[in-house]
Structure 1
Amino acid sequence: MENPSNLARVKNLLEKWDVRVFILVSLFIQAFLTLLAPFRKSSASTFLSFLIWLLYLSADAIGVFVIGLISSNEGDTPHTIELLVFWTPFLLLHLGGPDTITALALEDNELWNRHALQLATQVSITVYVFFQSFRENRLWIPAVLMFVEGLIKYFERTCALFFASTDSYRDSLVAEPEPGPNYARLMEEYNSAKGAYIPTDFEGKDGRLEGGARSDERDGLVENDQNQSAADDGSDPTGVANSDLKLTLDETNVKEAHRFYEMFKALLADGFLSLKDRKVSRDFFISVPVKDAFRIIEIELNLIYDVFYTKLFLLQRKRAFARVFCFIFVIASLLIFSIKDKSKYKTVDIVITFVLLLGAIALDICAALMFLLSDWWIIIISFDGKMKSYFQWIMVVFLRWSRRARQPCRRRWSECISKYNLLKRCFRTPPSFFNFQCIFSIKRIRDILLGFLYVERHKVDKELVNFVITELKNKAELATDIEVAKEVCSSRGSLVLEDDYFLASDCISPWTVDVDYDESLLIWHLATDICYWTSTEDTTSEHRNISKALSDYMSYLLLRKQTLVSSVVGMADTRFEDTRADAKKFMNNKSIKISWLADPWWTVKRFICKKLCCRTMSETDDSPSVRVENKFFMNFSKKLLEVKADVQPIVAKGDKSKSVLFDACRLAKQLEMFGEKKWEICSKVWVELLCYAAVRCSPRSHIAQLSKGGELITLVWLFMAHLGLGERFLQNQGFGWTKLIIQK
């Protein structure tokens, strides 16, 4: 039995140190979040996501817990209570969180009202704690200063969550009501002139309206309208600063990205875009090189991330002055505390107080430096307004200084794509511990373990990105009007076959347009694998590698990222499981016989040879599992092609099974007839399948991926929108205002 005196000693120790330990832990959590949070938009690391998740949830819990401890603390000396009261505003400051993260997931923005209630509650408790010792508190001045800073920071976080919530963001896009001219008075004047036989006519903004506005003149005014609207906003529409400062290429791309973000904000709220904006954006992105176009899309997605997940977009123009006052307040608090008589305080409490003050200063300086190095500082520089003219020389100096520290070619998303192969999932048996029903029966745990075993992440090839962007630009050049654009977006391979490979259309269309999307994707995925493993052409073929990469990536999206592509999932899981069972039955339940520990051990030996023994293994050497898998897949594909699949599987087997194995076999045989051209056909079909899924994902599902490193399909979705390839454009575009012309 435990000694009561020991339990009492432990209890006293906890009561003495709990506030001190937890408040320092809260400070360190803020420091780690400040430094780590920016990396989550450019990294898909599971460990980093878990670490940020743990820190984010712990920050609020610890802050609320410590404020509660201080408010109920009655056993300390009056001088100790003075310091505890002084520490309370720091916890309010920590609850405000760093600028680099306000929402862990997109759904957190919808909980802004909960944070607003917590703000009111914690502020009330802080005020209560403060007034309890107000009369005898010699540190009330620095405490009030820190309270104001904490209140501002916490209020900023709540505002950021509110502005990023769905309803608030959508409301911010609503334009001012426009009743138009007085129709009754206009008709009165028109009928009076007409009765007096005076020639009259209505003239629109684009010319006289005789059965409709003239489209050629209307198009000609698009650019003028854009320039006029930009002038009204106080910005430079041409992308060139009005000052003498010459921007670098990367800074110009940032300005362009912000311009198109402002133009296409309605898209993020699932709203409609104007044909005027479509034309401006489409003409721009068709004309710029592939590399610059893709870079602008990356930067724009970073801006979208900042709006929905951080406070950075709040620190613009007049809002930044609040931060200046906050920094002054914490400096003043440090100076006041330094000159106070501290002889009656405990040494450890004095040290903790200085750590909190210096930590607050360090976090403010770090936040300021991050803001100066961010894209938003370039956007502020490019804003041509009165505020800029007053501080232009200072801002330019900071911009020139930040160029030395800014990395123009820094990674703006994970630049990786995940691959999930059906054949590997069929024939690579999971480890024996998967047989434990208590683990494998829980879907969340099962999905995590299966993803760890079968999902591979690879750095995206530049050739693949360039090919996809080039294909999209070629399609955009054809989509001169909305109807053609809709046809392009609804194509699932048919457009490629009809336009470029007309002879192949009749042979291949039964597996593209005549079946559901999920069935078509699985058929093409298996057919691509069969052709890949039986191909005798050059294995370094660009189209061959692109087809394989896109095939595995689309399989990953359909089977492992169903929340992202939920509108096109269909019966994908059922078809996958039936196909998996059919493939195993076809191979007589044979599987790949190799341990899952073979690859880690091979990696260790490779490291030893390279680092310790000063020997290098060939870069082309594959891991043991890859060699065994490749051999097995080649045998499987060759054996499958030997089947004489003259009759449709649904006719021979019925429709109870949803397997697509032999449909893929029939498609692979048709593709083999085109020789080396089959890889060009496959790669272009996969681009259309990717585009079809991209435009049918909801904007919120795309935005949700930005906090996880981003996905290639999200970049494709935004680029398609800027090229005018989408369905969210107004078809009946108005011509603005009209006026009645009465001839004299």
Structure 2
Amino acid sequence: MDHSVPDDLSSPGIGIILKVSRCICCNYLRQPVELLLIWVLGSARKGVDGGGNGGKLKLTVSGGPVISCCTDTVHDGLVRTQTSAFSQVQTAVGSLILARKRMMMEVIPQRLKDLWKEWELRALVFLSLASQISLILMGNRRKCNPKIMIKVPVWCAYLLADAVATMALGVLLNNLGEIYEKKGSVDDANNEVTAFWAPFFLLHLGGPDTITAYSVEDNELYLRHAFQLGVQTVTTLYIFLTAWNGSRLSFLTIPMIVIGFIKYGERTCTLWLASRDQLRDSMLTDPDPGPNYPKFMNEYCLKDAEGFYVEPKEVKDKVEITIPHREADSTSDASNLIIAHRFFQTFKRLFADLILSFQDRDISQSLFQEMSQEDAFNVIAIELGLMYDMLYTKASVIYTPCGHVCRLITIMLTCIVLGIFSFTDKQHYSKVNISITYLLLGVAIFLELYAAYALLLSDQSNVWFIQQKKSKYLKAINCMESVVKPPRWSSSMGQYSLTHVCLKEKPCYKILRCSFISELWEKHRYKNYKELPRYLQKSIFKYVKKRCDQLKENIGSNVSLRDLCNKRGSIALVKYNKHLSLDWSIKDVEFDQSIVIWHIATELCYYSRSWGNISGDFNRKMGKLLSRYMMFLLLLYPSLLPAGIGLIRFRDTLSEGKNFWEERMSIFCTSQTHATKACDRRKERRIQACKMLLKVKTQVLPIKVKGDRSKSVLFDACRVASALNEISDSKSRWKMVRDVWLEMLTYAASQSRGSEHARQLKRGGELLTHVWLLMAHFGMTDQFQISQGHARAKLDVK
């Protein structure tokens, strides 16, 4: 095709215009745009073509036919010609774009558009109901299940619930608005039914009782939800008034609006009560101005002026300390419920980073000293469950007299609406819409009944039954709980092994390495969870109790609580092997560095020895479990640990480990015989890898060779592992390793904040959170700082 341009228009600018038009325009627009642009340029240059072509401009554009543009009509002046041309360009291009849009709209057949118009709102109803059912069934499960199979569905349902309900109200409002504009009223029976659905979306925005916030940060959005409560209520009322025709169904909409407003109001109030500032303010005691100081000083000065010898003395008021005690005729779980409920009123202040009194410490210490490890951890699990309910559910509202009244109102009104709707004449309504309406009412009643059932089985209700001596009801509830009630927490501890990451086969790793998800893959692919064994639970309890006894024995000495809690392995090193110079791996480095060093050293010691008596060696198992748990915290939840560069250190160490084992293990894999089982191959692979690493000589300090550029501690861990393997007595070696990790665990717990532990409750609970609260009950925390709260001054006149 000829792409020539007349001589009088030939210029570099024309070529640029043609290229630009081909880049920015689709095939439908290219020819007209090129034509118009060239015509504008020609008009701007020539004004009027008086000869040559006889008033016509011939152009051949973009492979099209020869096009003639008449220029006989001349405008006065070049400026007017250019302005008029540009306006024509705008008009032509706008028309072409509109035509293009119409062509795209015609791609979707009208039949499909009508079908979507009919089922759009119905689809949103089904999606909203699915979200509500998922939330009420699984929303409360995450406090006892840390697996991702619970997290992802709950997260998706939580995000969908509000978005779908809000979208459905918007679609419903738009549909009714269009009908009202066309006809002047909404007189269609099916539109009346769909308008009846509006209060149910308001109810769905209120959410189920089992979850109001997915994370602690959601509680801070109470103002947003309060605003949305007003907006969506007004929207629902507008839909109700638009569709009002005085029928029975219109009257049934009124109680449903009341129910929806109550539900959404409960959620908004719950979010406000669980917000950080309000939670802290609700836990503060009433202001106490103390004794009248001016009055005391006036009396003091008067007596002194009269010549009396006046001496102020401090007098302590006698305060009766009520210690929760176990009922002789009650079960262990019932006693634990009463004790946990009593302590929760005090120790919940720790989650708001508030301080407690020494009187609270003495009460807690005296009781926990007499407990078994099983009862102590059960009490703590109940307390953490109560805290979870306060932060993430509607517990702070529904366990109040007002909450009980609201629950009774919503259940009764929903049942009444269902009963009246069942006897309403429905001949003029669509069968599909009738079925959806029954489904909405049925799910609403199901949500109410399930909430009442969960309320009956809750720990708060059990405490009330115990206090009211309702033993018959309590026995029936206990029988139901044994069948259906989930555990109070996951009773598991996360595990992460750095050596496993280096040695495991990574399918499609070359593809993942090129994308941003490689690090996320390594974090979550190689973590796992182990059930918390009772022997480890017992060891933790005995260790904390022993440290509490040491603290009591050292009262008045130079050993303080802070000094005792700041130990992170040095006590165990001194106790089991005084001549072993490993203090550098604990005292002279940061805490995250100690974790990585001792984690690798524990792995090397664990796999470099024979597997003979491992089934009976609990200390060896505990050392490995605690080592991998601390590594799990460092990598996935570093906010629970003291600040440091643990993630950088982990990545550098992981990179060095991969480089070291990549070549050596490939040689080993090609030379080894095929094992009968895959697990045997993996086990043998780890043993050989650890032995290879321990063969590296470490006489020269690694930091002198690598400098400070790399934060890897791989061969520092080899130094520690080699020193540990020099201990001939295997039991002493693993007792020392176990106690080092117990010290690190308690140190991490003592340095963590309650607000961070509150965030972990939604993830099935962390062992570190239980250890932190256990130490608080034994008085091993800096948050006991209020002393002599019941002292007053008295004048001694002589």
Aligned residue for 2:622?
546
Contact 1:268 1:699 in 2 (8 A): yes
Aligned residue for 1:478?
550
Aligned residue for 1:12?
114
Aligned residue for 1:659?
712
Q: Does 1:124 align with 2:124?
A: no
Aligned residue for 1:490?
566
Q: Aligned runs of 1:702-741 on 2, under 5 Å? A: 702-730=757-785, 733-741=787-795
For the residue of structure 2 that corresponds to 1:510, the secondary structure is helix
Residue 637 of structure 1 aligns with an amino acid whose one-letter code is: C
Q: Aligned runs of 1:182-193 on 2, under 5 Å? A: 182-193=292-303
Question: Which range is displaced more, 576-585 or 364-373?
Answer: 576-585
Evaluate the alpha carbon distance shift between residue 734 and residue 4 of structure 1 in structure 2; reply closer, same or farther with a 3 A threshold. Answer: same
Q: Aligned runs of 1:417-436 on 2, under 5 Å? A: 417-431=493-507, 433-436=508-511
Superposed CA offset, 1:157-178 (max 9, x none):
1111111111111121222221
Contact 1:578 1:658 in 2 (8 A): yes
Q: Aligned runs of 1:392-411 on 2, under 5 Å? A: 398-407=473-482, 410-411=486-487
Superposed CA offset, 1:557-580 (max 9, x none):
112332443x34x23233333333
Residue 72 of structure 1 aligns with an amino acid whose one-letter code is: N
What stretches of structure 2 of length at least 5 have no aligned partner? Answer: 1-102, 180-185
Q: Does 1:196 align with 2:249?
A: no
TM-score by length of 1: 0.84
Q: Does 1:359 align with 2:443?
A: yes
Post-superposition offset of 1:193: 2.3
Alpha-carbon distance between aligned partners in 2 of 1:592 and 1:202, rounded to the nearest angstrom: 83
- Given candidates 612, 629, 636, the residue that maps to 2:682 is 629
Post-superposition offset of 1:689: 0.9
Alpha-carbon distance between aligned partners in 1 of 2:212 and 2:704, rounded to the nearest angstrom: 56
- Given candidates 276, 292, 296, the residue that maps to 2:359 is 276
Contact 2:623 2:741 in 1 (8 A): yes
Evaluate the alpha carbon distance shift between residue 592 and residue 629 of structure 1 in structure 2; reply closer, same or farther with a 3 A threshold. Answer: farther
Post-superposition offset of 1:358: 2.4
Q: Aligned runs of 1:265-664 on 2, under 5 Å? A: 265-318=348-401, 319-381=403-465, 398-407=473-482, 410-431=486-507, 433-436=508-511, 440-442=514-516, 445-480=517-552, 484-498=560-574, 500-501=575-576, 503-504=578-579, 507-536=581-610, 538-540=613-615, 541-565=617-641, 567-568=642-643, 570-587=644-661, 589-591=663-665, 624=678, 626-651=679-704, 653-664=706-717
Aligned residue for 1:156?
266
For the residue of structure 1 that corresponds to 2:334, the secondary structure is helix
Residue 361 of structure 2 aligns with an amino acid whose one-letter code is: R
Alpha-carbon distance between aligned partners in 1 of 2:419 and 2:409, rounded to the nearest angstrom: 15
Superposed CA offset, 1:317-337 (max 9, x none):
312121111111112222332
Alpha-carbon distance between aligned partners in 2 of 1:587 and 1:450, rounded to the nearest angstrom: 17
Alpha-carbon distance between aligned partners in 2 of 1:344 and 1:576, rounded to the nearest angstrom: 69
For the residue of structure 2 that corresponds to 1:734, the secondary structure is coil
Evaluate the alpha carbon distance shift between residue 189 and residue 307 of structure 1 in structure 2; reply closer, same or farther with a 3 A threshold. Answer: same
Post-superposition offset of 1:32: 2.2
For the residue of structure 2 that corresponds to 1:407, the secondary structure is helix
- Given candidates 324, 327, 334, the residue that maps to 1:238 is 324
Higher Rg: 2
Post-superposition offset of 1:348: 2.9
Residue 513 of structure 1 aligns with an amino acid whose one-letter code is: K
Superposed CA offset, 1:350-398 (max 9, x none):
3322222222122111110111011111233356xxxxxxxx58x6654
Post-superposition offset of 1:247: 4.2
Alpha-carbon distance between aligned partners in 2 of 1:436 and 1:382, rounded to the nearest angstrom: 60
Contact 2:313 2:796 in 1 (8 A): no
Q: Aligned runs of 1:88-167 on 2, under 5 Å? A: 88-167=198-277
Contact 1:528 1:547 in 2 (8 A): yes
Post-superposition offset of 1:199: 6.0
Alpha-carbon distance between aligned partners in 2 of 1:623 and 1:525, rounded to the nearest angstrom: 27
Residue 85 of structure 1 aligns with an amino acid whose one-letter code is: A
Evaluate the alpha carbon distance shift between residue 71 and residue 48 of structure 1 in structure 2; reply closer, same or farther with a 3 A threshold. Answer: same
TM-score by length of 2: 0.79
Superposed CA offset, 1:4-37 (max 9, x none):
6972222222222222332233223212211111
Post-superposition offset of 1:685: 0.5
Evaluate the alpha carbon distance shift between residue 652 and residue 29 of structure 1 in structure 2; reply closer, same or farther with a 3 A threshold. Answer: closer
For the residue of structure 1 that corresponds to 2:568, the secondary structure is coil
Alpha-carbon distance between aligned partners in 1 of 2:343 and 2:778, rounded to the nearest angstrom: 12
Evaluate the alpha carbon distance shift between residue 487 and residue 559 of structure 1 in structure 2; reply closer, same or farther with a 3 A threshold. Answer: same
Alpha-carbon distance between aligned partners in 2 of 1:410 and 1:197, rounded to the nearest angstrom: 74
Contact 2:493 2:629 in 1 (8 A): yes
Residue 494 of structure 2 aligns with an amino acid whose one-letter code is: S
Q: Does 1:181 align with 2:291?
A: yes
Alpha-carbon distance between aligned partners in 1 of 2:419 and 2:668, rounded to the nearest angstrom: 67
Superposed CA offset, 1:589-613 (max 9, x none):
3346999xxxxxx9xxxxxxxxxxx
Post-superposition offset of 1:550: 0.9
Alpha-carbon distance between aligned partners in 2 of 1:713 and 1:47, rounded to the nearest angstrom: 23
RMSD: 2.9
Question: Which range is displaced more, 269-278 or 420-429?
Answer: 420-429
For the residue of structure 1 that corresponds to 2:495, the secondary structure is strand
Q: How many residues align?
A: 674
Post-superposition offset of 1:587: 4.7
Superposed CA offset, 1:398-432 (max 9, x none):
4343122013995222222222212222233522x
What stretches of structure 1 of length at least 5 have no aligned partner? Answer: 208-220, 228-236, 384-391, 596-601, 603-620
Evaluate the alpha carbon distance shift between residue 440 and residue 173 of structure 1 in structure 2; reply closer, same or farther with a 3 A threshold. Answer: farther
For the residue of structure 2 that corresponds to 1:507, the secondary structure is coil
Superposed CA offset, 1:103-137 (max 9, x none):
11221111111111111110010111112233534
Evaluate the alpha carbon distance shift between residue 741 and residue 378 of structure 1 in structure 2; reply closer, same or farther with a 3 A threshold. Answer: farther
Residue 310 of structure 1 aligns with an amino acid whose one-letter code is: T
Alpha-carbon distance between aligned partners in 2 of 1:736 and 1:489, rounded to the nearest angstrom: 29
Alpha-carbon distance between aligned partners in 1 of 2:313 and 2:233, rounded to the nearest angstrom: 60
For the residue of structure 1 that corresponds to 2:605, the secondary structure is helix
Higher relative contact order (CA 8 A, sep 6+): 1
Question: Which range is displaced more, 553-562 or 575-584?
Answer: 575-584
Evaluate the alpha carbon distance shift between residue 205 and residue 238 of structure 1 in structure 2; reply closer, same or farther with a 3 A threshold. Answer: farther
Contact 1:19 1:69 in 2 (8 A): yes
